[in-house]
Structure 1
Amino acid sequence: MTIVKAHGAEIPALGFGVFRMSDAEVEAVVPAALEAGFRHFDTAQAYRNEAALGRALAASGVRRDDLFLTTKVWVDQYGKQSFAASVDESLDKLKVDRVDLLLLHWPTDKVAIADQIERLNEVQAAGKTRFIGVSNQNIAQMTQSAALSRAPIVTNQIEAHPYLDQSAVAAAAKALGVSITAYFGMADGAVPRDPLLREIGARHGKSAAQVALRWLIQLGYIALSKTARPERVAENIAIFDFALTDEDMARIGTLARPDGRLVSPPGLAPDWD
């Protein structure tokens, strides 16, 4: 498994995300993910399945030190009275003493970024997470977060797939030493059906989905894969035995379009770069 390094964090470049998955789905698929070789798992308070992931990981017998576990604090917990308590609740559900990476899930103007970052630093200093980061921040917010934080911001988790050009954010992150974690890599089902990705995949003996994940990895991103079907898990992780050519990478890059963004919830989404 390829590792992405950022400010001392060593993050497995391919993670397994459980967004929009029921408890039953999580508990059915996580054992298959572990069997296939996944060790990086990504959840969030807002997904409402931290407890299911915690149960599945605890029951697996896999050593805690071999796992990289990420969760995210939801925006309604950013207040001074609730932030640390919400993290404690997440840890209880996940059945761990600390997570490896704790993120602010979305930016909000209801709590100043300086206060959000201060609370992240406080829970990190208290030993409740090894590393801290942000999610869904634009360049200005990410730059401000990095400048304000005593502990390094190690990632910005953002939507990234072939139909959305995130090169500007990625370049700004690189300049700050911040990694990019890519979610929604399948573009809500568009990727597996894409003729170009299928054509490139056929040449490599791979699926369109594997091509898209490999493309994200070769861009230097951390990629979150997801499936609720245990029989599909092995396909998701089988992306380290081939490489896309420079021409492949360039052709995939041509798929980006101005309306390619899929995740932009009103009231949460910032002014995107």
Structure 2
Amino acid sequence: MTRVPHVGLGTMGLDTPAEATAVTTALEMGYRHVDTAQIYENEAVVGDAIEAAETPRDDVFLATKVWADSLAPDDVLRTTRESLDRLGTDYVDLLYVHRPIETYDPPETLAAFDELVDDGLVRAVGVSNFTVAELDEALDLLDAPLVAHQTEYHPLFQRPELLEHAEEHGYSVVAYSPLAGGQVRDVAEVVSVAEKHDVTPESVSLAWLAAKGVCVIPKASSERHLRANLEAVDIDLDAEDIAAIDAVEREVELYPE
């Protein structure tokens, strides 16, 4: 079964060739997981940046997502091929249902995803922003294994039931916005752990997620931040550190439906 690399680069907002050089830098630094989406409207510049890195295609775990207005079967098949053209690749390693809204029809949409796997255009299927009930339904309907669930997850937006479900069913959780849009630097519990380890709150947030087995795809553009994010998952938090962040009571959801 396909395994999702634990650290990746989120690309939302990397819209121009100059901004997308972060993708090239990341791959040259050792990143092997790049995440984009149709709705980001940057697949072409992301694809060019991947090519510029000269990293063998088979070494890059490339994920994109089908937006909610294109989840009817014919649209899934058409727009995925368009994504491949923009990305300059024959296949993506992971294709997500971006949100289960609008044109999402579970039996029909997921059958189209299975068809893309059968045709070799998609290596693995993922879903994003699903509830536990929606995850159960997808697991029942898909022929291909469910490899990943991408969801907002950070110290200010915790959904342990999603982690439990993933562990029970053997797929990865991929956390987007793992730094809460920078707000983790204002969370007292995170700051306290950061001071203890002499690292940044951002690094602690990523280390906390990694300790839970969650894959992370923070966006970064500078070489310094790219390197810090890559190294953060190796920070060794103890049980007390993890429990302190688990106990954060304030809740902020950055991307509600």
Q: How high is the TM-score relative to the length of structure 2?
A: 0.95
Report whether the alignment pairs 1:260 with 2:252: yes
Between 16-25 and 86-95, report the one with greater CA deviation: 16-25
What do the CA deviations read for 1:70-92 (whole angstroms, capped 9, x no partner)?
00001111123221110011111
Pick one of 172, 193, 202 that aligns with 1:200. Answer: 193
Residue pair 1:18, 1:26 contacting (<8 A) in 2 also: no
Cα contact 1:26–1:56 (8 A) shared by 2 = no
Equivalent residue, structure 2, for 1:181: 174
Q: 1:1-150 alignment to 2 at 5 Å?
A: 8-108=1-101, 110-150=103-143
Structure 2 unmatched runs, 5+: none
In structure 1, the gaps of 5 or more residues are: 1-7, 266-273
Distance 1:24 1:203, change over 3 A: same
Deviation per CA, 1:3-24: give whole Å up to 9, x if none. Answer: xxxxx11221011100122223
Deviation at 1:53, TM superposition (A): 0.7
- Number of the residue aligned with 1:249: 242
| CA–CA separation in structure 2 for the residues paired with 1:136 and 1:240 | 23
Task: Give secondary structure in 2 for the equivalent of 1:81.
Answer: helix
Kindly state the Cα deviation for residue 109 of structure 1 after the two structures are TM-superposed: 5.3
Deviation at 1:47, TM superposition (A): 0.5
Moved over 6 A (4+): none
- Contact persistence 1:74–1:105 (CA under 8 A): yes
Deviations 1:170-211, CA, capped at 9 Å, x for gaps: 112222222111111111220133333222112222111010
In structure 2, distance between residues paired with 1:111 and 1:233: 35
SS of the residue corresponding to residue 226 of structure 1 reads: coil
2:148: which partner in 1? 155
Contact 2:10 2:35 in 1 (8 A): yes
TM-score if structure 1 supplies the norm length?
0.90
Larger displacement relative to structure 2 (166-175 or 212-221): 166-175
- Following superposition, the deviation at residue 239 of structure 1 comes to 1.7
Instruction: Determine the C-alpha separation between the residues in 1 that align with 2:151 and 2:160.
Output: 12
3-state DSSP class of the match of 2:165? helix
CA distance in 2, matches of 1:26, 1:75: 26
The question of whether the paired residues in 1 share the 8 Å contact of 2:175 and 2:215 is answered with yes
Distance in 1, matches of 2:131 and 2:249, equals: 18
- The alpha-carbon deviation at position 240 of structure 1 amounts to 4.1
Q: Kindly, what percent of the aligned residue pairs are identical?
A: 32
The answer to which structure has the higher strand fraction is 1
| Distance across 2 between alignment mates of 1:53 and 1:21 | 8
Letter in 1 for 2:225: R
Deviation at 1:107, TM superposition (A): 0.3
> What SS does structure 2 have at the residue aligned with 1:190?
helix
